[in-house]
Each structure stands twice: as structure tokens, then as C-alpha cells.
Amino acid sequence: MQKSLSCEILAVGTELLLGQIANTDAQMLSQGLSELGISVFHHTVVGDNPQRLREAVELAKSRADIIITTGGLGPTADDLTKETIASAFGKKLELHGPSLKRLYDRWTFGKMTKNNERQAWLPEGCEVLVNDWGTAPGCAFEAEGVHVVMLPGPPRECTAMWKHRARPYLEKLTGGAIVSHYIRLYGIGESAMEDKIAYIMDNAINPSAAPYAKEGECLVRVTAKGENHDVAEEMTKPLMEQICSELKDFVYGIDAESLEEVLVALLKEKNLTISTAESCTGGYISKRLTDIPGCSDVFMGGMVTYSNESKMKLLGVKEETLKAHGAVSEETAYEMAKNVAEIMGTDIGVGITGIAGPGGGTEEKPVGLIYAGISYKGETKVYELPRRKNQSRERVRLLASSKVLDLVRRTVLGIE
Amino acid sequence: MQKSLSCEILAVGTELLLGQIANTDAQMLSQGLSELGISVFHHTVVGDNPQRLREAVELAKSRADIIITTGGLGPTADDLTKETIASAFGKKLELHGPSLKRLYDRWTFGKMTKNNERQAWLPEGCEVLVNDWGTAPGCAFEAEGVHVVMLPGPPRECTAMWKHRARPYLEKLTGGAIVSHYIRLYGIGESAMEDKIAYIMDNAINPSAAPYAKEGECLVRVTAKGENHDVAEEMTKPLMEQICSELKDFVYGIDAESLEEVLVALLKEKNLTISTAESCTGGYISKRLTDIPGCSDVFMGGMVTYSNESKMKLLGVKEETLKAHGAVSEETAYEMAKNVAEIMGTDIGVGITGIAGPGGGTEEKPVGLIYAGISYKGETKVYELPRRKNQSRERVRLLASSKVLDLVRRTVLGIE
């Protein structure tokens, strides 16, 4: 087997060293490099300081096959990445005509100031990476046995430049094509997931399978490398099927962004409508549903009934119910779900009530106690959500809203 | 003036190099070090690999006065930070009795496995940094003219350990006490803010003033160093007053976490209640209000009226209004705000309607066009929110919800 290439990610920017921003570019690039089978052994951050940048480049040259830099490509005197790196590799900067033209063409605020032209000066002999998402172009070259790729720092630009420019450049180096898919899971912990599929992951080299955990969810990335895209795509299939059949109903989507995206698509497909009645989550569920463009086809609206009065007035929850069982009770969740579906005339109604904390808990009804009602085509079921200790208010609310989205998905699909 | 101390932040963890998490510890520590007047010149990340960690430590020793490490203090064989760093400084690890006892005392799941004892082995002669937020203690020592501080990696633990353990340790090195306050601003851009207070910032050394931008808001950090806490606190006051009087109504809070926190506190203080009627923000505003513990004193509830039907049915928006002006119009926002306050019986009603994108825009009503109505004690005003091009749906909704929270704050305070 070929030795895998190694990469160092070198971020340039004093704002990182002052803690004004986190180095999310390095995270995004590391994920992408891992997909390509390229090993990342170092992240380094230096400020807008030519000497320390030069030292960092010399060190990276000595220990990595690939150097990816982020930041320092802009028009100001602080932006020194190209100059410093070109000089470390004995190269000059040259004015790149098409990039200069592009800068002038894209300029929309009055006359472009001269200093902006600096962005069109690029290392001699480099491959220019056209930036369709900002002003400063990136570039790539090979010298002294090292591949250097320079990308702009702003995360939105860096992400697009990685995907559409740097990734294809590096794919050529690694040979063949690489395809990755993400299997997204809800309702199973990372270690339980690993237990279930360890026997599959251990034997999977190409295609490979790697587990990730994130925000109360898990995912498995399946990556295959083949002589071309179609071959690699085909190679992922048996492994995907094997993992999905082992993890069954925990799988909520393939290559999906989120539970809400999958749920909105599912409701559209099934031609179902939904409405929400939220107490403890205070609009979090409707916010997440409406994060998805086009959700208006399925989401008719919701109510945030934070007080007993609003539960009675807007949702028609009975005063006796609130008196006998309290606002945080199975009975109240039941009425909230049932009534919101009726009032809004939707196929599905969601009701959620609980104690998000940090205050408001009692021995009988502790912080984290949450009931969710799901009304589906006239039938309403209530669930007590799993409770975890020592969670922040934000996390209690996030996990509760995720759980409800998954409960709706399972209800619609008829999964117990 | 004394030369300021320099620090390198060295993160240890393969999960960072795989892109499974972002290095938010480095951001948090960088902010904190900047407050202490300690310069950060490098962030470095290496994996759980003793050789590369050793090399990184040797390099950091050669160029920094202080090394802070994060991660690698846990019980597994991967956790090598203490061993590797102690060895780089010619130190041995010793079993620290109190830490061992603490581990056994805190253990709650059956019998503690032997490998957990590794966490109580610490470099000889170090100061133990007791971890009240997790299992692995941190430590600090001085050797070869360098101060080394080791902190656990999980962000929640790292943040608490910084605040309560490492910061006080480093404050002793820098001498005296340091006090920082944050002036939070809404409605002014970073460069406009800098223009206004440049003459103040340029002349402010101790106390100093530093600008930050974040998520559509700005803030100014004022930091003073004095012989003790009270002296430093007193020193910040004139500068705080000067900056606040220059930036006036843009200042929404001092040392506050967010607009919603300030607004909920203001409404409590003024004994006012609020309700919301949201279309394009889909519950984002009520979600943000209910992020604040105790908001139930002021927030009575809200409606998410995503369809025309729900605007009519729940809010009583007139069919003629929707027909004549459309759902996204001044008139609809007016009725939403006015009616929700009436229905919910609150002092304040908020109505918001607009086009969040990416689809749904027209020439006449483009993506980003948003109207907000604020009803206050029976009087309702409508505002067209500032529109920026090329923003994501998430950002359009975030900025719109922030703007509305600020509009309510200004309305209540009688600021134009």
C-alpha cells in the first residue's frame, strides 16, 4: 500500500491569536483531507508577522508533503502570506492579468483603490484558484517536493474554495477519485454505535468507515477511493447497506444536514402538514423547522404558550387539567398536541412542556423533566423524554427539540 | 515599560486533526491571555503522538515564556501530555495522594478501573490545579525559565479551569490584578465604532480599550491592571464612561451576554410583558427570549404564523390586508404586532414578516425584505429592517431577530 501523504494546515491571522475567531477553517479542511486519505499531523497558527510566518513555513516544509495556508491574501499591508511563502520557496510574485481584470470587473463601490491590485500578484508559475466567493484569488504550486495551496481566510470563502478548487487539485495528487457519504443517526450513543458496527469498521479499508459524534447525534462516514468517481461511488454501496441494516431505524438520513431537513422532506413526500405548541422549548422546534427553505409547504404554524393563561386561551388546554396535573404533565402535553392539530387543521400536532432549568425544578418534577405529545391523524401519544443530569438550559432545549423531531419522523414512518 | 510575557497554546488531540472538533479552547484561552496582557504568538495542534508532541514542546520552550497545553490528561493510553511534557523538562511523574482520593470519591459508576489512577500521576513539584468540573486534574510548574500550565481538553472543563485555576496562577506572574469589562453594542458597525472612539482607544494604555466584532454586533473590552482588584476596578470607570458617552444609545449592556438577556432584565425592571407574532423568523425571537431563565415573568407567549391562513385565524389579520398588500408588507406587520398584544394582553407586541430566502424573492419584494411592527401600550409602529445582500437564510433570520430585540429595547427606553 502506498504511504499516505501528510499535510500541515497553517493559518495566518492575528485575529486568531487574539481569540476573536476560532480556527474553524482548520476543522473544515481537516475533515476534507481525512476524506481524501491525507493525514494531518499539525495545525499551526501565526499572526500577521512575516518573520514568524517564514519560520512556520520552513518548519512545515521540513515535515509535510502538503501545506495548506488560510488567510493573509487580502489587500492590506497586513496580508503577507503570498509574499512570505513565495520567498520561502525562492519564487517571485507576478501580476496575473486575468485576476486583475476580475478584480476591476467585480468592483462595485466607486473606484477600486490601488492597494486592491496586490491581490492579483501571485507566485510565478502557480495554478491560480479562481475565487468566485470573494475578491482574493487562491493559488497552488509544487516546489522542492512540497505542494503548497493558499486559501482565503473568511470561512465562507475558504469552504467554497476548498470544495471547488483545492479538493480537486489534491484529488489529482492522490490519484483516482474519492467519494464519501454520511450516514446520520439519532437515538443511539457513540459507543453503542461503535459496538454495533465495530466488526464492520475494523475490516473496512477501502471503502472505509469512520464514526463521528456531534451535538447529541452520531454519524458514520463511508469513503471509497476508486479509479474514477463512478467506480468509487459503486464501491461505497455494499458497505453503506451493511451499516444501515445493522443500525436500522437509528439511521435518519444519508448525506442529510439535519433532522429538520429530513423531516421536512419526509412530510413533503407524504403530503402531510404539521403544527407545534411549545412551552419549555419556547419556539425552538418551529425555529428549526423554519430553518429549512420551503418548509411552508408542510409547516402551518405554531404557538409558544409559555404561561398557563396562554395554554388555556390559545390552545384550549382545560383549567382542570392544569390544576390537577400541572403545566408539566402528560395530560397537558396530550391536550397541547391534540388541540394544536385541531386548531391549525394539520395532520400532525406537536405539544411539548417541561422544565428547562436551571430554576423551576422540584423533587417531584426535576429540571429536565419534559413531556412531548405527538398527534397524528387524530391519534395522540405522549412520551416522557430521556432526562440527563447536569445539562445547560440550552442543551436541555436542543436535545428535547431533536428528540421531538425524531419522534415525529418515527411516528410518520410507523417505527416504534 | 516591562516587556510583556509571551504564550504558546499547544493543543493535543487527534480529534482536532481529524476535524471532529474545532479548537475553541485556543480561542477562549487567547481571549483570556489578551486580557492579562500576555501575547500569544503561536497556536499549535498535534495528535496523540508522543514524538510529535515532544518536538512541539521543545519548540514552544525555545520561543515562549508560558506554554499552555489542552487535552491528553485523561485515563486512556492515548493521553500522554503529562508524561511527555514532564520528560521534556527532565521531571518524573509522582502519584498525588489527594488527587487519587478525589478520583475514588467522585467515582459513581461501580468500581473505578485501575487505568483511571493514571490521572493522579502528576509532574514532581508541580502545583496541582484541582478540577471541580471533571475527573482529570490540571497542573502548573516553572522549569528552565518557562511556565507550563496543563488543562483538560473538553471545552466546558477547560473554560472553568482557565477561569478559576490557570488565570489566577498567571495573574500572580504578571503581578497585581486585572479587571476587564465588556461594553456591548448594537446597531453600529465595527469600523464606524472604531472611527468614533479611535481617539480614546489610541491614548488608552492602562486602562486599555480593544474592539471586537461578533455575529452582527460589536463590543469594546476595557481592561485595567492595578495593584489589587479594587484599584483596577476603579481605574476602568472613567474610560468606561468616556466610551459609553461617545457611543450613547448603541450601548445596550455592560458585561451582558446578549440582547435577549438585557431585554428580559429591562422588561422585568419596568414590569412590562411581551408577546410575539412571527412569520419569517419562525419562532427565532421567542426561542431567544426563552433562552433566558426566568423569562416567564415577562414573555407570555407567541405565535408562529407561517401561512396566510394562520395569520388570519390565530392573529385576526384581515383577509383584505393580505390581498391588497401581501403577507410581506407594512400593513400585515402592523396588524400582527397590534393584534398579538391585544390577544395575549401584553404591554408589548412584536410582529415580523419578511422573505428569509433563498427562494421566494421577487423584483418588488426581494429576499431580505422584512417588516417588523412593535406595539407598545396601544401604539404600533412599523419598521423596514436594514437589508444586506448575499446573506444566508440563517443569517437573515439571526440579524432580523437581533434587530427586533433592539427595537423593543429602544421603544421601551424611548430612544429614537
- pLDDT tens for A362-410 read 999 999 999 999 999 999 999 999 987 778 899 899 999 999 999 999 9
Q: pLDDT tens digits, residue range B336-362?
A: 999 999 999 999 999 999 999 998 899
Residue A304 to residue B314, Cβ atoms within 8 A: no
- Asked if B41 has any chain A CB less than 8 Å from its own CB, the reply is yes
Does B17 contact A357 at a Cβ distance shorter than 8 Å?
no
Q: Does residue B265 have a pLDDT over 50?
A: yes
* Whether A294 contacts chain B with CB within 8 A: yes
Residue of B nearest to A25 (CA): B22
For chain B, give the mean pLDDT.
Answer: 93
- Distance of residue B62 Cα from the nearest chain A Cα, in angstroms: 13
pLDDT of residue A135: 87
CB B3 within 8 A of CB A8: no
A1: pLDDT strictly greater than 50:
no
Nearest-by-CA chain B residue for A305: B301
Which chain B residues contact residue A396 at CB under 8 A? none
Q: Are A301 and B304 a contacting pair at CB < 8 A? A: yes
Q: Do B17 and A27 touch (CB under 8 A)?
A: no
For the cut 70, the answer to whether the pLDDT of residue A108 exceeds it is no
User: Do A119 and A137 touch, CB atoms closer than 8 A?
Assistant: yes
A138 by Cβ neighbours in 10 Å (0-12 / 13-18 / 19+) ranks as buried
Cβ-Cβ contacts under 8 Å, A290 against chain B: 280-284, 304, 306, 356, 397
Please answer yes or no on whether B43 and A16 come within 8 Å at the CB atom: yes
Q: What is the pLDDT of residue A189?
A: 83
With bands split at pLDDT 50, 70 and 90, how would you rate the model's confidence at A74?
confident
A interface test, pick of B10, B12, B20, B388 with most A CB neighbours within 10 Å: B20
Q: Hey, are the CB atoms on B310 and A301 less than 8 Å from each other? A: yes
pLDDT above 70: percentage of residues in chain A = 99
SS3 assignment, position B270:
helix
Contact B17 A30 (CB under 8 A): yes
The H-or-E segment that residue B142 falls in is strand B138-143
Which grid cell is B273? 410583558
Count Cβ neighbours within 10 Å for each residue of A270-295 and write b for 16 or more, e otherwise: eebbbbbbbbbbbbbbbbbbbbbeeb
How near does any CA of chain A get to the CA of B29, in Å? 7
B289-324 core/surface letters (b: 16 or more CB in 10 A; e: else): bbbbeebbebbbbbbbbbbbebbbbbbebeeebbee
pLDDT band at A229 (very low <50, low <70, confident <90, very high): confident
Instruction: Give DSSP secondary structure letters for A71-118.
Output: S--SSSTT--HHHHHHHHTT--EEE-HHHHHHHHHH--SSSPPGGGGG
Report which of residues A212 and B223 the model is more confident about. Answer: B223
The whole-angstrom distance between residue B60's C-alpha and the CA centroid of its chain comes to 29
Nearest to B19 among A22, A28, A296 (CB): A28
Chain A residues touching residue B282 (CB < 8 angstroms): 283, 286-287, 289-291, 295, 299
CA distances from B191 to A295, B198, B247, B384 (A): 37, 10, 13, 23
Element (H, E) at A142: strand A138-143
- Is pLDDT at A2 greater than 60 in this prediction? no
A87-91 long-range CB contacts below 8 Å, 24 or more apart? Answer: A87/A54, A88/A54, A88/A57, A88/A58, A88/A61, A89/A61, A89/A123, A89/A141, A89/A143, A89/A144, A89/A146, A89/A148, A90/A143, A91/A123, A91/A124, A91/A125, A91/A141, A91/A143
pLDDT tens digits, residue range A258-283? 999 999 999 999 999 999 999 999 99
Provide the CB-side half-sphere exposure for A347 (13 A, CA): 12
- Integer Cα distance of A64 and A73 in angstroms: 22
* Residue ranges of A 252-291 with Cβ closer than 8 A to chain B: 276, 278, 280-287, 289-291
The ipTM value here is 0.84
- Over residues B387-404, the mean pLDDT reads 90
Query: Which of the two residues, B189 and B10, has the higher pLDDT score?
Result: B10
Q: Is the pLDDT of residue A3 over 80?
A: no
C-alpha–C-alpha distance, residues A276 and A297, integer Å: 15
Q: What percent of chain B has pLDDT over 90?
A: 77
The answer to whether the CB atoms of A19 and B31 lie below 8 A apart is: yes
Chain A CB within 8 Å of residue B132 CB: no
Nearest to A65 by CA among A39, A87, A89, A45: A39
Q: How far is B94 from chain A (nearest CA, A)?
A: 30
Give the alpha-carbon dihedral of B228, B258, B384, A157, to 10 degrees: 90
Write down the pTM of the prediction.
Answer: 0.85
Q: Which residue of A has its CA nearest to B219?
A: A20
* Interface contact B306-A301, CB threshold 8 A: yes
Among chain B residues, CA nearest to A218: B20
A6 has a chain B CB within 8 A of its CB: no
Euclidean distance between CA atoms A108 and A111, whole angstroms: 8
Question: Hey, which residues 172-201 in chain A have their CB within 8 Å of chain B?
Answer: none
Please list every residue in chain B whose beta carbon sits closer than 8 Å to the beta carbon of residue A351: none
Burial A213-247 (b: 16+ CB within 10 A, else e): beeebbbbbbbbbbeeeeebeebbeebbebbbeeb
Which residue of chain A is at minimal alpha-carbon distance from B44? Answer: A44
pLDDT at A106: 78
Could you read off the pLDDT of B273-320 as tens digits, one per residue?
999 999 999 999 999 999 999 999 999 999 999 999 999 999 999 999
Per-residue pLDDT at A109 exceeds 90: no
Q: What is the pLDDT of residue B1?
A: 40
Q: Which of A106, A303, A311, A312 to mutate to test the interface with B (most CBs of B within 10 A)?
A: A303
SS3 A348: strand
Quote the CA–CA distance of B308 and B350 in Å, as a whole number. 17
Within 381-410 of B, beta carbons closer than 8 Å to A belong to 393-394, 397
B123 grid coordinates: 509532574
Rounded to whole angstroms, the Cα distance separating B372 from B305 reads 14
Chain A's closest residue to B308, CA to CA, is A300
- pLDDT, tens only, A41-52: 999 999 999 999
User: What pLDDT sits at residue A416?
Assistant: 77
Residue-level pLDDT at B389: 74
Select from B12, B21, B31, B45 the residue whose CB has the most chain A CBs within 10 Å, as the one to mutate to test that interface: B45
Indicate if the pLDDT at residue A87 is higher than 50: yes
Low-confidence winner among A162-171, A231-240, A357-366, B140-149 (lowest mean pLDDT): A357-366
DSSP three-state, residue A223:
strand
Integer Cα distance of A220 and A201 in angstroms? 10
Contact assessment for residue B259 and residue B185, using Cβ atoms and an 8 Å cutoff: no
Confidence bin at A130 (pLDDT 50/70/90): very high
For the ranges A147-151, A214-218, A231-235, B43-47, which has the lowest average pLDDT?
A214-218
User: For residue A247, what are the contacts with CB-CB under 8 A and spacing of at least 6?
Assistant: A183, A185, A188, A193, A196, A197, A220
Q: Are B30 and A19 within 8 A, CB to CB? A: yes
Judged against a pLDDT cut of 80, whether residue B322 lies above it is answered with yes
Q: Report whether pLDDT(B409) > 70.
A: yes
| Residue B109 touches partner A, C-beta closer than 8 Å | no
> In terms of CA atoms, which chain B residue is nearest residue A56?
B42
Contact A303 B300 (CB under 8 A): no
Banded model confidence at residue B175, pLDDT cuts 50, 70, 90: confident
Region for residue B37 given its phi and psi (left: phi exceeds 0; alpha: psi -120 to 50; beta: otherwise): left
| Crossing angle of the two packed helices A229-247 and A190-203, in degrees rounded to 10 | 130
State the pLDDT at residue B30: 96
Rounded mean pLDDT, B82-99: 96
Q: Do B393 and A303 touch (CB under 8 A)?
A: no
Beta pairing partners, A213: A218
pLDDT for the residue A372: 98
Give, in degrees to the nearest 5, the angle at Cα A345 between A341 and A348: 40
- pLDDT the model gives residue B141: 97
B295 and A283 within 8 Å at the Cβ level: the answer is: no
Q: Which three cell numbers stand for residue A273?
A: 402538514
> Confidence class of residue B109 from pLDDT cuts 50, 70 and 90?
low
Please report residues of A whose CB lies closer than 8 A to that of B26.
16, 19, 22-23, 45
Contact between residue B346 and residue B275 where contact means Cβ atoms under 8 Å apart: yes
User: For residue A336, is pLDDT > 60?
Assistant: yes
CB contact under 8 A, A359 and B299: no
Residue found by looking up cell 417588516 in the block: B371
DSSP-derived secondary structure for B145-165: TEEEEEE-SSHHHHHHHIIII
Which B residues, 302 through 361, put their C-beta within 8 Å of a C-beta on chain A?
Answer: 302-307, 309-310, 313-314, 343-345, 356-359
**Separation of alpha carbons B166 and B123, rounded Å:** 16
Using CA atoms, how far apart are residues A412 and A408, in angstroms rounded to an integer?
6
